[in-house]
Structure formats: C-alpha cells, structure tokens
A and B are shown apart, each in its own frame.
Chain A
Amino acid sequence: MSFQFTILIPLIPLISFLIIGFLYSKMSNKLAGIWGSVSIFSSFLLSLFTAYRYFFEVGRVNGVYPKILGFDFEWLRFSDSLSAHLGTLIDPISVMMLVVVTTVSLMVHIYSIGYMKGDRGFNRFFAFLSLFSFSMLGLVLSTNIFEIYIFWELVGVSSYLLIGFYYEKNSAVAASKKAFIVTRFADLFFLIGILILSFYTKTFDFISLTDPSNIAVMQTGSITFMGLSVTTWALLLIFIGGAGKSAMFPLHIWLPDAMEGPSPVSALIHAATMVVAGVFLVARLFPIYALGSDQALQVIGYVGAFTSLFAAVIAMTQMDFKRVLAFSTISQIGYMMVGLGVSGYGNEAGLGYMASMFHLFTHAMFKALLFLCAGSVIHVVHTNFINEMGGLRKHMKITHITFLIATLAIAGFPGFSGFFSKDEIITAAYHNNKIIFYTELLVAGITAFYMFRLYFRVFWNQEASYEHKPHEVEKTMTIPLIILAFLSIAVGYIPFGNFISSDSMPLESHINWGVASASIIVSFTGIIIAWVLYKKPSNLPERIVSSIKVLYTWAYHKFYIDEVYLFVTKKIIFNLISRPIAWFDRHVVDGAMNGIAWTTSWVSESIKGLQSGQLQKYALAFVSSTIILSALLIYILLNV
C-alpha cells in the first residue's frame, strides 16, 4: 500500500510559507490566517488518513508494524555505499508524531487568528508558523539521520524567528539569540555523534541503523575510548543534541527565556512539538540505545530524572505565568527522558519506551492547552505576573474550565490523560531503578502543587484590580481550547501499547495499582497544599518562604545556572580565549595586512617620482636600457 502522498504533509505548509512569505504585503491578514490554517488542516487530514491507513489497513505484518519508506529520493551520493536521501519514513512513532504535530499546529493556527488580530506582524507570524510546521513534519518523517539533522536545524531557525517575533523588544532579541546559540552549541555534538555513528555503521539510514542484527555487528568491531565504546560515545553525543533541543539540564536555560515569543508559539514550539524532538530522536534510535549501550541509557535516565526534579522545584517559585509553564515543560520532558532511560528493548521491558511516547502524546495536548489558556489570560489582563491576577474564574468561564482540565491532566488526577501516561513512566521506573522511581514520585507531587498554585492564584484568590474588566476571549480562541480540553481527557483512553512499543509487538499495559495509588496520594497531597495556601488570600506562603529563605532564593533565581553560564562565557571564555584571539586578530592578522598595505603605499609614494611625466626621461631610460641589454646579448652570444 502506497504512502507516497505522505511527502505532501510537510510540503503543504512549505508551500503555504512560500506563498504567505512572497505575498507578504499583498495579502490581507484574514486571508493569510485562513490560508495558513487551511493548509495545516489539509496536512492534518492527511496525517489522520496516514494513521488510519498505517494502523488499520496495513496493520501488523508478522506481528509487528513494518517500517515503510513512503517516499525516497537520493539527494547526495558521497560514495557507493554512503549517500544522503530525502524521503518519508512511516512507522508507529512517526505516525504518532504526525498526528501530534498537525493537531497542535492546527489548534494553534486557529487560535492565533484571534490572538494575533491587529498585530502588525500578522502575516509574518503565519509565514513562520507554516515554516515551523514544515520543518517539524519533515523532522518526524525523516528517513535518515542526515535528513533529520537538516530539519533539526530548520526547526531551530523557525524557533529562533518566532521567539524573536517581537524584535523591537530587547529581551525578545536576547532570548532568541540565547535559544539559537544554546541549541546550536548542542547540535555541534549531535553532528559529531552523527559522523561517528555513520562512520562506524557506514549508513545514515534509520531502518538499517536500528536493525537489531546490525547493532550486534557494530558492537563487536568497535573500539573503546576512555572506557566507553564508540557506540556509547556516539549515542551520548547525539543525546547531547537532543538534550539541547529538549532543554535538559544543563542546556535548559534557553527555554524559560523563549517565553518571550507569542503564547501560541510557546504552545506549539516550546511545549508540544519542537522541545520533544530530543525525546523523539532518542526514541528513533532507541534500538541502538537499548541494545548497544546501557551506559548511554542510564545517563539519559539520570539526566531526565534530575532535570524533572530541578525544573519542578524552580517552577514552584516562579511568578511569571509562562515561566512556570516553561519549567513545567522542562520537568515533563524530563519524565519522557526517564521513560526512555528506564526502558529495555522488547516486551514488558519496553514499558518505559511506550510510556514515554504516550506521555509525549498526552503532554502535547494538555501542555498546548495550558499555554493557550495562559495566552488567553495574558491577552485579557495584559500582564505575565500571577500576583497581578486573581479571581478570573468569574470572568473567563471557558478558559477557567479548560485550564482546570489541563491542570488536572498534568497533575495526574485519575481519569485524565496525564494520569495514565505518567503512571506508566513511574511504573517503568519502579521496575528498573528505585532512585529514579522515588524522584519521579516526588516530582509528581511537586507538579501537582505548582500547577494548582498557578490555578488557584490566577482563577481564585483575591480579585486583582484590572485596568479593563476581564472578559472571555473570542470564539476562534475558545474553540481550540475546548477541542484540546476534550483531547486532554480522551487521549488517555487510547490503548497506546497496541500501537507503539519498543519492538512494535503489542504491549498490554495494565495499571500497577500499588504504584498508581502512591502517585495518586502524592498528587493529592500537592493539590491540597496548593488549595490551603492559594485558594484564599493568606500570608501563609510568605511565612513558609521566609522560613526557608535561602532555598527559596536559590530556586527563585533558577539555582543561578544562568549566572554560571554568564560567568563561564563572559569571565572565562571571553577573557581567556576570545580576548587573546581578538587581540591576535586585531594586532597580528590585521597588523600584517595593514603592514603590507602601508609598505606598498610607502614604496609607491617613494618611487612615484619615477613617473615624472617627462617624456625625455622615459626615453633616456629606454635608450640606455636597450643599449645595456644589447651589450649583454652581444656579450653572451659572441662569448667575448
């Protein structure tokens, strides 16, 4: 069954980008918005069709879902055995990602028509959104590691453009640069990892890379470096690339600042799709990780666990609505990494892999919803700070209800989607690594606490004094909220293990009630603490804060990680490396050039008198030279 049409899924947004981009000033805002939405809607329908066809018409072949090359085109041929292809790879996770990306993207497009109304950069915004959709869809469909790298950079560029969307604001420009530089820095390691991996495996192709028999071959012949095998090194380097995109500690610093972009962008790029690219990348190469290198997987697990705890603690203290959500995103991606890190390959051991993908899926829905709600609230009250909000439940009923649903989902309230996926990750951790298990359990509680802190602070508590009376946002914005709220509940009931598992065999997941009840209790504790502290205005939070002053200050300042970076870059790298290089460039390189120019100028200045304009001087020189040359010639020829 042909999947050639899948190439259209990324191409439609690309065409939309080109059209909006080229007709930038010709198009009315309305037309651009509708055009962008319609094109992403077509991609959405095609993705649903792909999913239907893949899972139900093609179905399992010999008990597993096949990997299908929907479209393949040789782009560059380096040697007989090594060539770069472009194309689309259809397998369970790429189909799932297609659905996620197009769904969220469609919702964000519709939402943005209302949200961006009247903005000067309306058309630009939709052009960039289309560019991002193209890049992200291309990324998830990539057939090989080379192609994924290209789209990887493209999403980075789109993210850069959209974070810096309000380029008049200095903070937005700084944030976009920070995001770009940090992710680019991580991508350097990714590239090195790609080179090492393809050098030893002689292929870029995902299908042959992740073929279990191939991995064994790679293992036997490989050499070791600093106690780790080459495979491990390559995989760790690739993971660093993924960690950069997915904001894993210590490369997470760009994501909170990226909230400078418009809220729909945060929902699409920095919550649902691009930031999970790192998770997707590890999942893509998961067979190599699982079969080729335990150490790499362990690193992923620990990094994920630490990041989730670390970000959750910071999220408790932040006052900026979107920053809380940003740290929550980092924390949740940490969960997904943990899921992959504690997973094995095949059957029951692969529970973590399935749970991670499941969490990616559900998280995309409820986190996009959270950001869109945040966008609505900020749109209405014109501030980002939660201490300037409060009592909004009366004014914004739909936003209130949808936000509550999303909060319940992320907090892991039973019956909501986040409960199922998070619970499975924790279960997988329970079977695999007890330290990670307890950490994640704790993080679940903290998550519930900070999310309900946000919820109570914004929608309950004392009503703040607003400049304009808050009102519910318009229909184009509420409809996506309602749809996503529905999805945030519904997607939890999908029998995910039937579709996606580490070895494509069906995986029957059943809730481990022991673990589940533990996580439920922890979540409820978090919710109740938040209830007590923030439901009504009280001075209890301040009292608690002052009793743990130092800890609070550290968490509030994000544990000074940004300052450490600034110290390292400004004080150490700039002073010790860049400055000498700059000096060398300015004095030695430029000096050599200037010296050459100066010498030339000096010489020409001093000999220009030779060109006196006096004809007879020239003639004298000519005649004497001719005579001398003739004399020489005669002397040589006649040997006198």
Chain B
Amino acid sequence: MEIAASKVIFYIIAAAILFFALLSVTSKRILRAATYLFIVLISTAALYFLLNYQFLGAVQIALYAGGIVVMIIFSILLTSHAGQKFEPVSRLKFFASLLAVLVGWALSLWVILSHPFVASSKEAVEVNMDSIGKALLSYDRNGYVLVFEVISILLLAAMIGAIVISKKQPGDGETNPDNSKTSK
C-alpha cells in the first residue's frame, strides 16, 4: 500500500507542478502568474521532501518561495497595476515558440526514456543538517568550502550591484541617457 501511496503522492505533485507552471506562463494577470509560480515552487519543495531531502526542501521554501517570490511580487507592485491584463501574444510568435518548445520537449523525452539509467547499488549517506554543514565547511575531498566562499562573494557583489543599479541617479528623468554625461 505504501508503494502505491508514495507513487500517488508523486503523481499529484507532478501534476500540480506542470499544471501551475503552465498557468504561470500563460496567465493574463501578472499577480496571478506570480501566485502560480509560488505554488510551483512549493510543490517542488514537496518533491524534495518526498525524496527525504528535508534540508533542501526547507531551503527551497525559504529562499525561493520566501525570498524570490516575495521580491518578484514587490517589483510587480512597483511597476504594474494589480489588475493589469496582458495583451495576447502575436500569433506567429506564439506558434513559433510552441513549435520549438514541443520539438525540444519531444527530443528530450525521447532521449530520456530511451536511455537505460542504471540505478546505483551503493549505500546512501544520510543527508541531514549536520552532514551538510560539515561538508560545506570542510576542505577535504568532498568539501565545499571554496564554493561556499565564492558564492558568498557572489552574493555580496550581487547585493552591491543591485543597490548601485537601482539607485536613483541624477538626470534619470531625462529620456536621453547621454544628456546626463554631457551636462556635467
């Protein structure tokens, strides 16, 4: 019974992911699209939980659902009216994109399904907070301290960059960006 249960849960999650992902990219209202994205991200977190990767699921919820989606919603509120509706995309663009995507999708699925993946028979390690934290700060064979440091610098740089880019500059009101230079 348990077998069937986890399978059923997987299918429910998968169906939710795909359904809301589709809605998210086709919805005419931007705030709704953001909400559908939120649901997709949460469902992804559920997939991680299903695989018994609790830490990753938590990160997914906290960072993606909590951080990025909130940031997106903020920017939507800054730049759009809540009730704004999108105009439909041009027919040519729609079908061209659809064709490309369907072909790519079919190709990828065919490759995935025709490739015989051999499941590993090795013993799994326990993935918990403790082992992840130790691996992050370890500098031996399976350590990630260098990447960890690089990522922290990247985040710092992104933070500074985001502040610099979005800071209001003198002469921003002018439509021609060159004017700000020449007027100095």
Contact = CB atoms under 8 A, between A and B. Distances in A.
Are A and B in direct contact (Cβ within 8 Å)? yes
Contacts of B96: 620
B157 interface: no
Contacts of B93: 616, 620
B100 A631 contact: no
Contacts of B100: 620, 623-624, 627
A630 interface: yes
Label chain B's interface by main secondary structure: helix
A630 B107 contact: yes
Contacts of A626: 104
B104 A627 contact: yes
A632 to B, nearest CB: 11
Nearest to B111: A634
B103 interface: yes
B107 A620 contact: no
A634 B110 CA distance: 11
B5 to A, nearest CB: 37
Interface in B83-111: 93, 96-97, 100-101, 103-104, 107, 111
Interface in A66-119: none
Nearest to B99: A624
Contacts of A624: 100
Interface centre among A624, A631, A634 (most CB of B within 10 A): A624
A159 to B, nearest CB: 57
Contacts of B111: 634
Contacts of B107: 627, 630-631, 634
A626 B107 CA distance: 12
Contacts of A627: 100, 103-104, 107
Interface string B133-177: 000000000000000000000000000000000000000000000
B100 to A, nearest CB: 5
B101 to A, nearest CB: 8
Interface in A606-640: 616, 620, 623-624, 626-627, 630-631, 634
A623 B107 CA distance: 13
Interface in B56-98: 93, 96-97
A634 B96 CA distance: 23
Nearest to B97: A620
B44 to A, nearest CB: 23
B115 to A, nearest CB: 10
Contacts of B101: 623
Nearest to B93: A616
Interface size class of B (residues with CB under 8 A): under 10
Contacts of A623: 100-101, 104
A639 to B, nearest CB: 14
Interface in A22-36: none
A624 to B, nearest CB: 5
Contacts of A616: 93
B91 to A, nearest CB: 14
Interface centre among B97, B100, B104 (most CB of A within 10 A): B100
Contacts of B103: 627
A430 to B, nearest CB: 91
B21 to A, nearest CB: 17
Interface in A417-468: none
A442 B111 CA distance: 111
B106 to A, nearest CB: 10
Nearest to B103: A627
Contacts of A620: 93, 96-97, 100
Nearest to B107: A631
B86 to A, nearest CB: 14
A624 B103 CA distance: 9
Interface in A123-145: none
A457 to B, nearest CB: 77
Contacts of A634: 107, 111
Interface in A533-591: none
A630 B100 CA distance: 13
B167 to A, nearest CB: 24
A31 B104 CA distance: 90
Contacts of A630: 107
Nearest to A625: B100
A620 B96 CA distance: 8
A383 B113 CA distance: 109
Nearest to B114: A638
Interface in B40-59: none
A616 B93 CA distance: 9
B177 to A, nearest CB: 15
Interface string B1-42: 000000000000000000000000000000000000000000
A178 B164 CA distance: 71
A625 to B, nearest CB: 10
Nearest to A622: B100
Nearest to B89: A616
A405 B96 CA distance: 106
Nearest to B105: A627
A574 to B, nearest CB: 54
Nearest to A628: B103
A193 B93 CA distance: 78
A155 B111 CA distance: 84
A345 B161 CA distance: 95
A630 B111 CA distance: 11
A634 B114 CA distance: 12
A623 B101 CA distance: 8
Contacts of B97: 620
Nearest to B96: A620
Contacts of B104: 623, 626-627
Nearest to A626: B104
Nearest to A634: B111
Nearest to A627: B104
A634 B93 CA distance: 27
A512 to B, nearest CB: 94
Contacts of A631: 107
Nearest to A631: B107
A627 B101 CA distance: 9
B64 to A, nearest CB: 23
Nearest to A617: B93
A624 B104 CA distance: 8
A126 B83 CA distance: 92
A626 B101 CA distance: 11
A621 to B, nearest CB: 10
Interface in A5-42: none
A624 B93 CA distance: 13
A370 B23 CA distance: 110
A631 B101 CA distance: 13
Given A620-B97, A627-B104, 6 more contacts: A616-B93, A620-B100, A623-B100, A623-B101, A624-B100, A631-B107
17 contacts: A616-B93, A620-B93, A620-B96, A620-B97, A620-B100, A623-B100, A623-B101, A623-B104, A624-B100, A626-B104, A627-B100, A627-B103, A627-B104, A627-B107, A630-B107, A631-B107, A634-B107
Interface of A: 616, 620, 623-624, 626-627, 630-631, 634
Q: 6 smallest A-B Cβ distances: which pairs?
A: A627-B104, A624-B100, A623-B100, A627-B103, A631-B107, A620-B96
